[in-house]
Structure 1
Amino acid sequence: MRVVVTIQHPGHVHFFRNPIAELEARGHEVHVFARENGVAIDLLEAYDIDHEVLAGESGGLLSLAAVQATYESRLLWRAKRIDPDVITAIGGVAAAHVASVLRTKSVVFYDTEHATLITKLGYPFADVICTPSCYRDDVGPKQVTYPGYHELAYLHPDRFDPDPSVLEAVGLDDDEPFAVVRLSSWGASHDVGHGGFDDPHEIVDRFEDEGLTVLLSAEGEPPEDLESYQFSIAPDRMHDLLAYADVVLSEGATTASEAAVLGTPAVYVNPLSLGYTTELESEYGLLFEYTGEMRHVRGLERAISITEVPSDTWAQRRADLLEDRVDVTRLVVQQLETLARTPATNRSTRASTASER
């Protein structure tokens, strides 16, 4: 079959890179189209994924609509020439729109309930919407649920083995305890009206008082006197670093959940709760979510207390998680192959049935 994969965020590269390789190994023709966003293009190049860039990076929410329109129109032109059997994406606004115009099939993967603009624009046009079983919204008959998380498409042990040489790359000794702190830019459409830590200095001071080295990753510009805490590393090596950290404190849900599925305890500080962050806390105790008042104070206190818990605790909790959850790459490939073979008149129902089998 011919598959079109669309990429509009660095996380999409991680999610699809193993399915792309698997699809190609199974003899399918895969075409990847991308929009510049953060390090998305750098990641595609790092993983040697053949791709075409269709639009540049937006300068903010005001320019996003224009960039999206450019991206969709160019994607429509390219896809029309390819005549794909199925188009897939995360969120899937452009993918679902283009597939609808071309009367081909689309599979959308998503896990972010509060991104309502994306779901309102994309879901009505998609044929199949795949969500983790912890996803809180009922999408209707198009929805296929599965026991997993997006992060298990690329961090499942069958797909990822952390490289300890990353420690030397960031200037750490093998036995040096350290914390990764991820601060968000708060510029996404679903971040409007929210904010992060008022004073990152307090985070650094508290961790250093506990004997941990602090590695700071900030989407925006950190205070000048904290620039020395920012680390530089190839974007495809970030997960190696998360795997060896003693604790991760993150305002971003993706970084926190990546750490959690790797067996690194994570504290997620953000007013927006998600189904998967809640489940990673309630079912496995690998992520600790703070969304209410005083969340930054309470989250930092939990991050400090985590450093006193024996490390084998987290390894056992990760083992429990992996026993319950699937390799999401296999799920992605199966959904695409199933939908491509399914007649258009009843394809959503059949895709759901195949997933249950």
Structure 2
Amino acid sequence: MEFKQKYLKIWFDILTPKQLLFFEHMIKRIKKNHTVLCTSRDYQQVTQLAKIREQKLVIVGKHGGAKRYDKLSSSLYRSRLLSTRIKRFSPDITVSFCSPEAARVSYGLCIQHICFSDSPHATAVMKLVIPLVQKLLIPWIIPKKEFTKFGVNAKDVIHYRAIDAAVITKRKISKNSKKPSKKVKRKIILVRVEEEQASYSSKKRPAFPIIKEIIKNFHNEEIVVMGRYSSQVKHLAQTFGNKIKILDKVVDGKTLLNNVDVFIGSGGTMTAESALLGVPTISYNAIPNIIETYLVRKKLVLRKRSPKQITISIRKLLDSPNLEIKNRAKKMLDSMEDPFPILVKTMKSILK
């Protein structure tokens, strides 16, 4: 479905790697007939991935880090910078994944704002954004009441039959993505360290005891660990040294997941992406959320919290062909719709 409405200017504010990948195909399709401005912030996880994916972003402001005052200060400064740039661009519509700055600027400049979200657990962001949006698009497995409590009318919440990781999983692998080198006969166990700088994050580090237990039990396999921030990478190196391979550069997750034997994640987007790719996936559920619960219920993800339970599950998964998991994953992925036509329909409805 192409978007052939009258000529429009559309602003996308993209804050995270997930958002970059989720919006990628939508932006390409919209650009065929309209002018699109894609803004982001100075945040290594996004800017490096944008280079890999060959996406052009206008960088405005920076990531606020972990501390509350720094988050507040960065957000206010970014809003101020954006207000000038967006006033000049003068878009007909804003699309974001619940960007607080996009919400505030769009509201102040009377620009219609459509948001996507699958994260009602991110309460701080929801409180800042949801009361100001015109339409909210969400996965069908999340009840509308999870968002209406933040101030949006139920009639303005629109379901689409997909989880966001499905959109990301169906993307083509970039020609700039490097495949991990796989040594003969060694299985690759990939661990994704938890988010620790988001407003909803716990300050605990559940991945570290898990990694320690994996090293103890699987020293003959290749243990690869993905950090999110330079502070995490530094701490991983200090704690585990050369017992693990630390990925200190941004990679396209799909390339990586297609070459691993087991994935252990915190329960977020990459956990869901891994599951939908048919990779044997374990969640240590650092951030409880509805998407992870759904995938556990559908037997695409194993939820294990203790390091010992996780290592037992890894052993079972490594010793099995896991054909059932692969078949379930393919069936689920094939059943998921593309939310782009729903975005187009929503845009047309609010621009009448």
Q: 1:67 aligns with which of 38, 49, 74?
A: 74
Flag the 1:297–1:115 CA change in 2: closer, same or farther, 3 A: farther
- Percent of residue pairs identical: 18
Question: What is residue 171 of structure 1 aligned with on the other side?
Answer: 181
Q: Comparing 64-73 with 173-182, which one deviates more in the overlay?
A: 173-182
Q: 2:329 aligns with which of 314, 318, 323?
A: 318
1:251 maps to a residue whose letter is S
Question: What is residue 275 of structure 1 aligned with on the other side?
Answer: 290
Shift of 1:124: 0.5
Structure 1: how far apart are the matches of 2:195 and 2:106?
A: 32
1:160 aligns with 2:172: yes
Flag the 1:298–1:112 CA change in 2: closer, same or farther, 3 A: farther
Describe how 1:336-355 pairs up with structure 2 within 5 A. 336-343=343-350
Structure 2: how far apart are the matches of 1:174 and 1:36?
A: 39
Structure 2: how far apart are the matches of 1:282 and 1:321?
A: 13
Flag the 1:38–1:196 CA change in 2: closer, same or farther, 3 A: farther
1:24 maps to a residue whose letter is K
Root-mean-square deviation (CA, aligned residues, Å) is 2.4
Alignment check: 8 A CA contact 1:218 1:230 kept:
no
Helix, strand or coil: the match of 2:83? helix
Structure 2: how far apart are the matches of 1:196 and 1:153?
A: 28
Flag the 1:103–1:225 CA change in 2: closer, same or farther, 3 A: closer
Question: What is residue 265 of structure 1 aligned with on the other side?
Answer: 280
Shift of 1:3: 1.0
Helix, strand or coil: the match of 1:4? strand
Q: 2:196 aligns with which of 186, 190, 196?
A: 186
Structure 2: how far apart are the matches of 1:223 and 1:232?
A: 10
Structure 1: how far apart are the matches of 2:256 and 2:94?
A: 33
1:289 maps to a residue whose letter is R
Helix, strand or coil: the match of 2:287? coil
Flag the 1:197–1:173 CA change in 2: closer, same or farther, 3 A: closer
Question: What is residue 37 of structure 1 aligned with on the other side?
Answer: 43
Shift of 1:114: 1.2
Q: 1:147 aligns with which of 161, 167, 170?
A: 161
1:148-190 C-alpha deviation (Å, 9 max, x unpaired): 111222212xx33598x954xx331376421101112522210
Question: What is residue 256 of structure 2 aligned with on the other side?
Answer: 241
Flag the 1:37–1:72 CA change in 2: closer, same or farther, 3 A: same
Describe how 1:1-357 pairs up with structure 2 within 5 A. 1-25=8-32, 27-62=33-68, 63-136=70-143, 137-139=146-148, 140-156=154-170, 159-160=171-172, 166-167=178-179, 170-173=180-183, 176-184=186-194, 186-199=196-209, 200-208=211-219, 211-219=220-228, 220=232, 221-224=235-238, 226-228=240-242, 229-232=244-247, 235-283=250-298, 285-290=299-304, 295-327=306-338, 331-332=339-340, 334-343=341-350
Alignment check: 8 A CA contact 1:130 1:143 kept:
yes
Helix, strand or coil: the match of 1:131? strand
Shift of 1:108: 0.8
TM-score by structure 2 length?
Answer: 0.85
TM-score by structure 1 length?
Answer: 0.84
Shift of 1:87: 0.6
Structure 1: how far apart are the matches of 2:240 and 2:96?
A: 37
Structure 2: how far apart are the matches of 1:343 and 1:262?
A: 35
Alignment check: 8 A CA contact 2:267 2:287 kept:
no
